[in-house]
Amino acid sequence: MTLKFCSFASGSSGNCYLVKSNNTAILIDAGISGTRILAGLEDTETLREDISAVLVTHEHVDHVRSLPVLSKRIPGLCVYANEATWERIERPVPEERRRTFATGEDFQIGDLTIRPFPVPHDAAEPVGFSVFADGRQISVCTDAGYISEEMFAEILEADLLLLEANHEKEMLLFGRYPYHLKQRILGDEGHLSNLSCGEGLCRIVNENPKKRQVLLGHLSNENNTPDVALQAIINTLEEESIFTGDDLKVDVVLRDRMSRIYEL
C-alpha cells in the first residue's frame, strides 16, 4: 500500500492537507477557498468523490473556511470534529454530514486509522492528527504554543511529520504586530517558533533516530520566511550534531502554493 501526503496550503491565511492511501482519501482542515481545494484534488489526480472526510483540528477560520462549500460540492463527504470544536464552528455544515470524535480515541475511515491528540492552542479543544496505514504514520501538528509531553509522544514515531515553524522570534518582537498579538503568539497557547520547532526535532531524533521526512509548516507571512525557517532548523539540528540526509529530510511547505506529493 502507498500512503501519500500533499499540502495544499499551510499558513496563517489558510491550511489544507491531503492524505490518501490506495483506497481512501481524506483532507485535514479546509481553511482555503473551495476553488483552491478542488484544484488541488485535480492536480493530485484525486477525484472529489473519493474524498471521504475532512478532519478539523480546531475552529479558527484558517482551518474551517470552506467546510460549507465542500459539504455541497463533494458528495458523501463527512466532517469530523470533537464536540467542543463543533460548538464553536460558525460555518454551517449539514447535520447529516457531521461526525464527532473523542480526542485521544482512535477511529477508522476506510483503511486509515485516525488518532486525534491534544495540542496547546487558544481554541476550544484543538488537536493534531496522526494517520496510520500499513505500519506507517503521518502526523500533522501545527498551532501549538509548545511541544507538550503528550504531543511529543504522539509524533515521536511519525514517518512523515508536519510540524509548525511559525515565526522567527526576533522578527516577531521587532515587527509591526501589536503587543497583545505578539504576546499571544509567544504564549503557551500560541505558535511554535523556529527555535522551539528545531529543539523539538532534536529531541525526537535523539530519542528515536529512525528514517523520517519532516515538513515545516504554518509559517507566518509577517514574521518568517521559508529560507529563514529552514536555515534556523538546520542550524539548531547541527548544533546537536544532527545532520539532514537520507535518514532525516527536512522541507518547507508554503502558505500560498501546493507542495509536491510525498509518498511512504
pLDDT digits (tens, 9 = 90+) for 169-180: 999 999 999 999
What's the pLDDT tens digit per position in 204-232? Answer: 999 999 999 999 999 999 999 999 999 99
Give, in order, the Cα–Cα distances in Å from 119 to each of 58, 243, 249: 10, 28, 24
What's the pLDDT tens digit per position in 48-91? Answer: 999 999 999 999 999 999 999 999 999 999 999 999 999 999 99
* Residue 262 CA to its chain's centroid (Å): 14
Instruction: Look at residues 29, 17, 16 and name the one whose alpha carbon lies nearest to residue 91.
Output: 29
| Exposed / middle / buried, residue 146 (Cβ in 10 Å: 0-12, 13-18, 19+) | middle
Residues whose CB is less than 8 angstroms from the CB of residue 170 and which lie 6 or more positions away in sequence, other chains included: none
For range 152-159, the mean pLDDT: 98
Q: What is the pLDDT of residue 172?
A: 97
pLDDT at 114 over 90: yes
The mean predicted confidence, pLDDT, of the chain is 97
Q: How far apart are CA 236 and CA 233, in angstroms?
A: 5
For residue 79, what are the β-bridge partners?
54, 98
Angle, vertex CA 134, rays to CA 152 and CA 82, nearest 5: 50
pLDDT at 251 over 90: yes
Q: What is the pLDDT of residue 123?
A: 98
Q: How far apart are CA 227 and CA 209, in angstroms?
A: 25
Instruction: Look at residues 182, 103, 197, 98 and name the one whose alpha carbon lies nearest to residue 147.
Output: 197
* pTM given for the model: 0.97
For residue 213, what are the β-bridge partners?
160, 249
Q: What is the pLDDT of residue 1?
A: 85
Confidence of residue 130 (pLDDT cuts 50, 70, 90): very high
Percent of the chain with pLDDT over 90: 99
Confidence of residue 167 (pLDDT cuts 50, 70, 90): very high
For domain 4-263, give the fold.
Answer: Metallo-beta-lactamase; Chain A (3.60.15)
Confidence of residue 238 (pLDDT cuts 50, 70, 90): very high
